[in-house]
């Protein structure tokens, strides 16, 4: 059998049937510290598609790093078809400094497609688009909520893309959110050059969450199975259909004070259900936060101290509460008891 050609990235080559970690130079800081982006390439012996999986575009969103660490230790990856490009930490400076941003205070996910002659964030975006996205047939970008907030595991797709909607259903996260492509985001820039990207959101900034990590690993493996990169053995299909949220609304604190939350992320609520109460520190005044419509809590604040107007609940609309409640519970239970997560190689 003739091996496929090597995989070129930057100035390096990865032979078929091998895997390597490669550092792509980005820039040099003022103290002459080099800034690079580390990329792990698994180049299969047999032909197949190229998939990239990225984490840490925002440096304080660490959950994607753990998802990719576990993904790279799945035994079937060793004999996969095609090519996997894994970038656990895109924004290394932000990761080291526990910061969402780069040294120039820019949000990397608002800098794509970038420029080879622009500021640091722009240069990093340019390298990512040209070295990673342009070589890939599909991407999965892993995110979490910001610090002091948490997201229930969800896939975000654009409203008019049937292909990514089908892939999102295969991924099997409990919630699918339809959201417009944001100007200068990775998803928008990738779409411009013909590469679809699934955006996975789960968990809290600077924290690990086991349910979210499992949802990410299981979803990526389902996508790889669908793309015929890995065999189906040991990769279970979702037991229920994810719930599609066609729209959502942030509910904000009616006053400043101490927040007492009565509903969890992933929980279904009906119109006028009591979600939380905000009280002043003396207990002399308090105001309730109630659901303006029935839906699922796709994200919420975790910080008990709020200012008036702070976002505290992200409520998504679903077509049928009765059907959605059972489906999301089935998907969550599947992640809890899936045999995939009891193998030493994964944990």
Position 347 pLDDT exceeds 50: no
Position 339 pLDDT exceeds 80: no
**Burial letters 40-79, b for 16+ CB under 10 A, else e:** bbbbbeeebebbbbbbbbbbbbbbbbbbbebbbebebbee
* Domains of the chain, first to last: 7-243 (3.40.630.10), 248-316 (2.40.50.100)
pLDDT by residue (tens digit) across 179-227?
Answer: 999 999 999 999 999 999 999 999 999 999 999 999 999 999 999 999 9
Terminal Cα distance for the chain, rounded: 34
Report the range of poorest mean pLDDT among 91-100, 124-133, 263-272, 319-328: 319-328
Contact 208, 313 (CB under 8 A): no
Q: What integer pLDDT is reported at residue 280 of this predicted model?
A: 96
């Amino acid at each position: 059998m003739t091996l496929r050609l090597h995989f070129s990235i930057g100035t390096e080559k990865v032979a078929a049937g091998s895997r390597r970690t490669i550092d792509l130079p980005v820039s040099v800081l003022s103290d002459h510290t080099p800034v690079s982006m580390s990329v792990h390439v698994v180049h299969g012996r047999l032909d197949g598609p190229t998939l990239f999986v990225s984490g840490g575009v925002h440096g304080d969103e660490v959950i994607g790093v753990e998802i990719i660490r576990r993904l790279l230790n799945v035994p079937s990856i060793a004999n996969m078809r095609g090519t996997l490009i894994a970038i656990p930490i895109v924004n290394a400076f932000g990761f080291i400094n526990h910061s969402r941003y780069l040294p120039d205070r820019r949000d990397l996910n608002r800098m794509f497609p970038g420029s080879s002659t622009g500021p640091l964030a722009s240069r990093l975006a340019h390298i990512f688009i040209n070295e990673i996205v342009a070589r890939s047939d599909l991407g999965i970008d892993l995110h979490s909520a910001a610090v002091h907030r948490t997201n229930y595991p969800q896939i975000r797709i654009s409203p008019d893309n049937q292909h990514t909607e089908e892939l999102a259903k295969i991924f099997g996260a409990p919630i699918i959110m339809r959201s417009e492509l944001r100007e200068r985001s990775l998803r928008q820039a990738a779409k411009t050059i013909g590469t679809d990207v699934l955006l996975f959101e789960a968990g809290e900034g600077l924290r690990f969450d086991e349910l979210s990590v499992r949802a990410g690993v299981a979803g990526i493996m389902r996508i790889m199975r669908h793309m015929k990169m890995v065999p189906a053995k040991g990769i279970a299909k979702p037991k229920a259909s994810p719930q599609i949220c066609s729209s959502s609304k942030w509910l904000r604190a009616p006053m400043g004070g101490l927040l007492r939350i009565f509903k969890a992320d992933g929980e279904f609520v009906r119109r006028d259900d009591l979600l939380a109460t905000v009280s002043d520190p003396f207990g002399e005044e308090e105001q309730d936060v109630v659901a303006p419509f029935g839906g699922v809590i796709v994200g919420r604040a975790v910080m008990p101290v709020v200012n008036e107007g702070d976002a505290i609940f992200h409520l998504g609309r679903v077509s049928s509460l009765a059907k959605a409640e059972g489906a999301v519970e089935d998907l969550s239970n599947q992640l809890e008891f899936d045999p995939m997560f009891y193998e030493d190689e994964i944990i």
